[in-house]
Amino acid sequence: MGQPGQKYHSHQQDNDTPDHDYCISVSNFSQSYGHLQAVNGISFNVEYGQVFGFLGPNGAGKTTTIKVLTTLLHPSSGNIRVFGQDIVKHSKEIRKKIGVVLQEPSFEANLTVERALDLYGMLWGLPKKDRQERIEELVDRFDMRQFMHMKNDELSIGQRRRVQVAREFMHDMDLIFLDEPTVGLDPSARRAILDYIKKYVQGGLTVFFTTHIMEEAEYLCDQIAIINRGEIIAIDTPAGLKKRYGGVESVEIKFADGGTGMGMSTGANLQDVLAAIRDVLADGSSAEMPDTNTVRISSAGAQEELVKIIGLLAKAKVQVESISINPPTLEDVFIAAIEKSKP
């Protein structure tokens, strides 16, 4: 497996594997279950050494796509290649080069964490010495030392999830599929796993990643596709998606005196200020009061709106403590793209 940041052995250079520009190439892929169309004619490419985010609401087609890409299901139609190889004709070769963490819990109930990791490495043919070295590394990296001698069925949901993700790193791979890998984990454990993945990406690992936590996608992904109702509705870099869909910015204005008097010689209160601000906002913009001395404005033209608001506040002799403009988040983008795709 090597250390994080070191170059992976590149299977794509093997003589029996054709050279290809993309680690994953999907063209016009559809998947149906009887009369149910789970995926409808999607196409995308995943470059080697990148983290590809595959985002969408529940039931959008994410897990079905992963099951096909990992050769667990045959595609109903379309052309899909992994490492330049057809996933149906070369499923056995492809499975040797990938790791998979699905949403469904998977653990060896009666084995200790250490024994489960060792068994997993043994199944992949690792020598005993290599297995022990990797177990030691993973136990530390995933903060599992305090429960490494406990049986898996004695662990919490979050601890089991850590074991489930960690064991995939017991073997060499060029591509890993992570379907909601941080479900049930606290923020500290989530960040540790994401950082660990990032280090291996620097060494050449390709990651196909799904999550409902937009901060994770923004932190990890180089490219993001958003799927809804079985169709890809947007695909770009996080920055590109924000530029295309994230027009709404928020402006927070904090006033002096904690909302009491507001430092205004006119004697107006914060509600008066809020009403006055709403009067100058354009259609589609909004203003709210999240606490006793703050007004938050959401607008597609926040900076232009702010010029009017500053003039209004100056005229009213309002004492402003601070003004901050917050760019749209990936969550804003995700919601906007989903809403735009609705019939």
Kindly report which listed range (181-195, 206-220, 277-291) carries the lowest average pLDDT score. 277-291
Query: Sheet holding 85-86: strands in order across?
Result: 36-47, 22-33, 77-82, 85-86
Domains of the chain: 11-244 (3.40.50.300), 248-327 (3.30.70.1230)
pLDDT score, position 13: 39
Residue 246: per-residue pLDDT? 67
**pLDDT at position 82:** 96
CA distance 236 to 233: 11
| pLDDT, mean over the chain | 85
Alpha carbon distance 209, 221 (integer Å) = 8
Q: How confident is the model at residue 114 (pLDDT cuts 50, 70, 90)?
A: very high
pLDDT tens-place string over residues 255-286: 876 444 444 434 447 788 888 888 888 777 78
Average pLDDT over residues 86-102: 94
pLDDT of residue 248: 62
For the cut 90, the answer to whether the pLDDT of residue 134 exceeds it is yes
**More confidently predicted of 303 and 295:** 295
Question: What percent of the chain is modeled with pLDDT above 70?
Answer: 88
Confidence of residue 170 (pLDDT cuts 50, 70, 90): very high
Q: How many CB atoms lie within 10 A of CB 167?
A: 25
| pLDDT value, residue 317 | 79
Q: Is 50 exceeded by the pLDDT of residue 23?
A: yes
How far is the CA of 48 from the CAs of 116, 201, 207, 229, in angstroms?
30, 9, 9, 27
> Could you read off the pLDDT of 37-76 as tens digits, one per residue?
999 999 999 999 999 999 999 989 999 999 999 999 999 9
Contacts 24+ apart (CB under 8 A), 254-258: 254/293, 254/294, 254/320, 254/321, 254/322, 254/323, 255/293, 255/294, 255/295, 255/318, 255/319, 255/320, 255/321, 256/293, 256/319, 256/320, 256/321, 257/293, 257/319, 258/292, 258/293
Comparing 287 with 147, which gets the higher pLDDT?
A: 147
Cα gap 312→248, rounded to integer Å:
22
* Torsion angle of the four alpha carbons 156, 175, 334, 45, in this order, in degrees rounded to the nearest 10: -160
